[in-house]
């Protein structure tokens, strides 16, 4: 391996300054399980692997990785992550190398979406494959899910591929953390990206729609269902367990037919596990694998977050193992999900998708499957979609792709990141004669001293032109 090289990002080799690197990305097909997706991706490059082996290249294999070295010590690496197969070429390989010529032609011959990347002059460029040729721009749409726990942003390209995602905590500050999330997203998107439109959902959709000048808004339920049916088209039922709420959605003829949402009880959501993780001193990300080691899962007397916490402390005092307690918590969460949402057993058709942040927890998945077995009398596997944590944002990017106007309304990431907000009171009550007994609170969105939009005002405010010198035009830009 070459030494004295600099790390650029997880998608690149370690590179020297001012170097050029080329690599390829083949997104996984939308199949039911992660194993099927990965196997399908490796099968698609089997001919490429055979070619390099037949040329007597030195082969080095690691888990989900293959390295090929030619006689000049030039390297080609093939590897997979959770959603893509990558083929990376060593920075010293030349454009007229037989290996690279074959590689490029092989990728172009695939009947799959694919992308060719270049890292050059400290910028990344990506070229999508279309009709067997590489085209100049990555075009697509932004989806934004602004929730009480997190800000999720997704960029979906024209082929419906989830090209990049960003997850940022809301932390009680929707506007500034949307801006923070877009800054992170801008670092991930190639320099030749063109954003054609956007869609928003979530509790913060009104602010986010104004920030982006969004093309479309849909409810969380519609957005989540749209994403699931895009990734797993055969889905009949969707279980969604997030940080603050949980949902069940029933699909009929490829469309959302009926749904239920629980926003009142935290015991059937990720917040329940987060609270118990703090008590146990174990990162919630390790709960799934830890709970599977239980010899005798504890049966909690109550599914309520408060009383479950009381039982947890009592069991710790008795010396019960953390594995048994965690397995019991998984069972408790699964049972609460079923009871609070009133799962309709007659409508539990398969396949069933399981998504939301909690879908990462293999222990909860196992317990939900056990409850399905009890209800149906047969084993049923829950299918976890790719990008299951950001489904609302994916759905909104897809809605924007379908509904955005021809003229581009999206403000642009640079502009969004320069917009600030001012919380103020309406000064026009007397002028408008609106009859309000209390003064309305407003939020001005402004760029420099120019007000872009005012939120939460009444209809008269929006329909009546501002008079010259009105105080609502003045923004304290130093605030």
C-alpha dihedral sign at 418, 424, 428, 429: positive
Q: Where do runs of H (alpha helix) occur along 195-297? A: 205-212, 220-231, 270-280, 287-291
Say whether both 278 and 155 belong to one domain.
Answer: no
For the stretch 196-245, pLDDT in tens is: 999 999 989 999 999 999 999 999 999 999 999 999 999 999 999 987 78
* Contact indicator for 129, 87 with CB cutoff of 8 Å: no
- Does one domain contain both 366 and 238? yes
Least confident of 238-247, 261-270, 396-405, 424-433: 261-270
pLDDT at 468 over 80: no
Both 212 and 177 in one domain: the answer is yes
The pTM for the full model equals 0.89
Q: What is the CATH number of the domain that holds 279?
A: 3.30.420.40
3-state secondary structure of 222: helix
Question: Same domain for 120 and 194?
Answer: no
Do the domain assignments include residue 79?
A: yes
Pair (152, 189) in one structural domain: yes
Judgement on whether residues 365 and 408 belong to the same structural domain of the protein: no
Q: What Å distances lie between residue 406 and 37, 197, 199, 395, 402, CA to CA?
A: 34, 9, 15, 20, 11
Whether residues 213 and 249 fall in one domain: no
Of 134, 165, 192, the residue at which a domain comes to its end is 134
**pLDDT tens sequence across 24-58:** 999 999 999 999 999 999 999 999 999 988 886 77
CA distance linking residue 83 with residue 80, whole number of Å: 7
Range of the domain at 65: 6-134
Return all residues near 441 (Cβ < 8 A) that are at least 6 apart.
423, 424, 425, 426, 456
Task: Tell me, yes or no, whether 371 and 255 share the same domain.
Answer: yes
* Statement to judge: residues 212 and 287 lie in one domain: no
Q: Please check whether residues 269 and 152 belong to one and the same domain.
A: no
Domain shared by 371 and 446, yes or no: no
Torsion, Cα 328 329 330 336, to 10 degrees, reads 110
Residue 282 shares a structural domain with residue 222: no
Q: Residue 189: is its pLDDT beyond 70?
A: yes
Cα 444 to chain centroid distance, Å, stands at 29
The closest of 42, 33, 20 to 100, measured between CA atoms, is 20
Last residue of a domain, one of 134, 150, 166: 134
Note whether residue 1 is domain-resident. Answer: no
Whether 479 is in a domain gets the answer no
Among residues 84, 115, 134, the one where a domain terminates is 134
In total, how many domains does the chain have?
4
CATH number at residue 122: 3.30.310
Angle between helices 322-341 and 362-376 (to 10 degrees): 50
478 domain residue, yes or no: no
pLDDT band at 474 (very low <50, low <70, confident <90, very high): very low
Residue 432 lies in a domain: yes
Cβ atoms of 254 and 233 closer than 8 Å: yes
Whether residue 380 lies inside any domain: the answer is yes
Residue 190 near residue 362, CB atoms below 8 Å: no
């Amino acid at each position: 391996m070459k030494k004295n090289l600099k790390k650029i990002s997880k998608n690149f080799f370690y590179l020297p300054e001012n170097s050029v690197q080329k690599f390829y990305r083949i997104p996984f097909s939308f199949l039911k399980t992660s194993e099927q997706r990965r196997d399908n991706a490796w099968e698609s490059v089997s001919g490429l692997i055979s070619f390099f082996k037949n040329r007597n290249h030195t082969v080095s294999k690691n888990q989900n990785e293959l390295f090929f070295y030619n006689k000049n010590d030039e390297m080609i690496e093939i590897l997979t992550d959770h959603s893509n197969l990558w083929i990376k070429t060593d920075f010293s390989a030349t454009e007229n190398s037989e290996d690279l010529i074959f590689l490029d032609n092989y990728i172009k011959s695939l009947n799959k979406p694919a992308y060719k990347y270049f890292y050059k002059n400290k910028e990344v460029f990506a070229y999508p494959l279309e009709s067997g040729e590489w085209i100049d721009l990555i075009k697509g749409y932004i989806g934004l899910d602004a929730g009480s726990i997190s800000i999720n942003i997704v960029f979906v390209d024209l082929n419906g591929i989830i090209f990049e995602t960003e997850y940022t905590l809301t932390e009680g500050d929707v506007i500034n953390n949307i801006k923070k999330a877009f800054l992170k997203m801008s670092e991930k998107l190639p320099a030749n990206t063109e954003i054609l439109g956007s869609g928003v959902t979530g509790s913060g959709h009104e602010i986010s729609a104004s920030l982006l000048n969004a093309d479309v808004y849909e409810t969380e339920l519609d957005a989540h269902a749209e994403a699931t049916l895009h990734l797993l088209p055969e889905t009949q039922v969707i279980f969604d367990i997030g940080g603050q709420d949980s949902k069940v959605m029933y699909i009929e003829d490829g469309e959302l037919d009926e749904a239920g949402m629980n926003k009142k009880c935290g015991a059937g959501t990720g917040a329940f596990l987060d609270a118990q993780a703090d008590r146990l001193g174990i990162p919630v990300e390790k709960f799934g694998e830890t709970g599977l080691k239980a010899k005798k899962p504890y049966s909690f007397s109550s599914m309520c977050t408060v009383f479950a916490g009381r039982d947890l402390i009592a069991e710790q005092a008795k010396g019960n193992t953390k594995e048994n307690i965690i397995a019991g918590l998984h069972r408790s969460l699964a049972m609460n999900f079923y009871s609070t949402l009133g799962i309709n057993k007659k409508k539990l058709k398969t396949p069933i998708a399981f998504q939301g942040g909690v879908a990462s927890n293999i222990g909860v998945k196992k317990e939900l499957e056990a409850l399905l077995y009890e209800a149906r009398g047969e084993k049923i596997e829950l299918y976890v979609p790719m990008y299951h944590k950001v489904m609302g944002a994916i759905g909104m990017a897809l809605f924007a792709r379908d509904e955005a106007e021809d003229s581009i309304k999206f403000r642009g990431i640079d502009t969004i990141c320069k917009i600030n907000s001012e919380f103020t009171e309406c000064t026009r009550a007397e002028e408008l004669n609106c009859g309000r007994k209390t003064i309305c609170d407003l939020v001005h969105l402004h760029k420099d001293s120019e007000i872009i939009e005012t939120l939460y005002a009444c209809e008269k405010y929006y329909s009546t032109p501002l008079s010259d010198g009105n105080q609502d035009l003045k923004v304290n830009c130093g605030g």
